Amino acid sequence: MRFVSAVLLCIVAAAAVCAELVGGVADYESLYHSAVESYLGAQWAQCVVSAKDALASYRKLVDVVVNCRIKCDDQRVGTGPERATVNAFYAARAAQARCLRNCAGVRQDGASDATLRDFRDRVPYYYLQRCYFECKEQCPDQLSYLDGHRRPNFFASFYHYLQFSYYQLGKLEKACEATQSYLLLVPDDSDMWYNQAFYAQLPATQDAWFKARQEVEEYVRRREEEQETIKAIELQLGTVVAKPQVRESSAKDSSFNTSRVTVIQDEKALNGTRVVAEGFLTEDECTGLLSLADTAALTGDGYDGKQSPHSKFETFEGITAGRIALLTRNGQIDKHQAELFIEASERVRMYVESYFNLNAHLYFSYTHLVCRKAMSGASRRPESDMSHSIHADNCILQKSGNCLKQLPAYIWRDFRYAFQGALKSFYADTHLPMPF
């Protein structure tokens, strides 16, 4: 029995989200559900955007309805004493109802009772406030990138440089102040504790000099207060609403819940800047992707027709995103399979963006569904054979194990990942030179 492993090769990117318009007014219920899903997935910036859009859409809808009621309030039937009759009363009410229906039209979109109750109770503001604070909490980390690379303790490192510079200038008091400022931000740094002990044993040093700078004390105090506020909001959200009742259509389009993703191997285990995780697909979704590959994959597709682009010990069958779109349009494959192909790509794009704490959105460069099949004699392949779990196409693999970022490799691809359907696992590595 042959073993075929389905692999979805993707180069990650950010996708735009657009809200469905209902009669010129965005569907605030869908936007609200999107905000809550972003909240549950710790996508704080997207949560803020969706929550603000939902509130703005809701206010716009309320304005439309209020203006329509004002406009239709003067709808009357007849004048004089006959207006007091029962028939006239019902006729006037019918005229008002007809006026409201014609005025507001489909903009009264029939949101669920749970959503209406949440908006009346101002629950979206709880989510918005929490996401604002959480997004703000990420600012120091987001600002810790230079040239696309994260610098741990970037803010605190300024005080590390300051203490050394002050010491070289003979400004001992300022050096002591800088060490205490650094330790207030990074209290477990043994090197800085050693520096402080060195300054403390100098004859001219005074104990009063070991006081953090005012801006650092204010910064730490503000962050502590924000953390307390976040905890209070969490408690409030826990008592007010856990998760809105999502209608069937909304549940189908909701964002992927990253909480079920588990890291199997991290950078330390893999000896490089990469990760292996699982939980991106359900068993049914795995079956769906395998079915798509069985139906539409062609030998050498995506590899310029080369049946064995990497090694003579295995063959590749694949289907590109372009062919999937074409076959879907022609009705040759199920559109739900095409949607799953895109959804699987997006799930991992979001995970890579979150896992590596990127300060910029990622953009898709290439997505490919591939089936790899071992040829006879594969078990006897030499160590130099290029068949392995990860094929880095954004650098050139060397015999030494390093991968050089230079042409003709696709050097503009900063991250790449392979999604193994049979194991529901995902592998990601960066563009940096690294051993395999």
- pLDDT higher for 391 or 152? 152
The pair phi, psi for residue 6, each rounded to 5°, is -85, 125
CA 260 vs. chain centroid, Å, equals 14
- pLDDT higher for 407 or 188? 188
Cβ(271)–Cβ(433) below 8 Å:
no
- pLDDT higher for 407 or 135? 135
pLDDT tens track for 330-374: 788 888 888 888 888 888 887 777 777 766 667 666 677 877 776
Evaluate if residue 197 carries a pLDDT over 50. Answer: yes
For range 361-390, the mean pLDDT: 64
For range 234-248, the mean pLDDT: 49
The reported pLDDT for the residue numbered 14 is 29
Average pLDDT over the chain reads: 72
The reported pLDDT for the residue numbered 243 is 41
* Nearest one of 3, 2, 8, 26 to 281, comparing CA atoms: 8
The reported pLDDT for the residue numbered 378 is 53
* Nearest one of 340, 247, 244 to 289, comparing CA atoms: 340
Q: CA-CA distance, 34 to 243, in Å (whole number)?
A: 12
Between helices 190-200 and 172-185, what is the axis angle to 10°?
150
The reported pLDDT for the residue numbered 6 is 38
The reported pLDDT for the residue numbered 77 is 47
For range 14-18, the mean pLDDT: 30
H runs (alpha helix) in 41-152: 44-72, 86-104, 113-120, 123-137, 139-142
Of 240-249, 287-296, 378-387, the range with the lowest mean pLDDT is: 240-249
Evaluate if residue 392 carries a pLDDT over 60. Answer: no
H runs (alpha helix) in 241-334: 248-253, 267-270, 283-296, 321-329
- C-alpha to C-alpha distances, 203 to 26, 175, 178, nearest whole angstrom: 70, 15, 19
Placement of tokens 């959200």 in the chain: 237
Residue spans of the domains in the chain: they are: 4-15+257-376+391-430, 21-142, 153-212
Residue 378's Cβ-count burial label (10 Å; 0-12, 13-18, 19+) is middle
Q: CA-CA distance, 430 to 48, in Å (whole number)?
A: 29
The reported pLDDT for the residue numbered 38 is 87
Of 47-61, 127-141, 234-248, 401-415, the range with the lowest mean pLDDT is: 234-248
Using omega within 30 degrees of 0 as the cis cutoff, is the peptide bond preceding 435 cis? no
| pTM of the complete model | 0.39
Give the Cα-Cα-Cα angle 328, 330, 332 (nearest 5 degrees): 65
The reported pLDDT for the residue numbered 169 is 92
Structure tokens, 56: 């703005």
* Nearest one of 369, 417, 352 to 391, comparing CA atoms: 417
* 330 SS3 class: coil
Of 75-89, 317-331, 362-376, the range with the lowest mean pLDDT is: 75-89
- pLDDT higher for 423 or 63? 63
For range 200-204, the mean pLDDT: 89
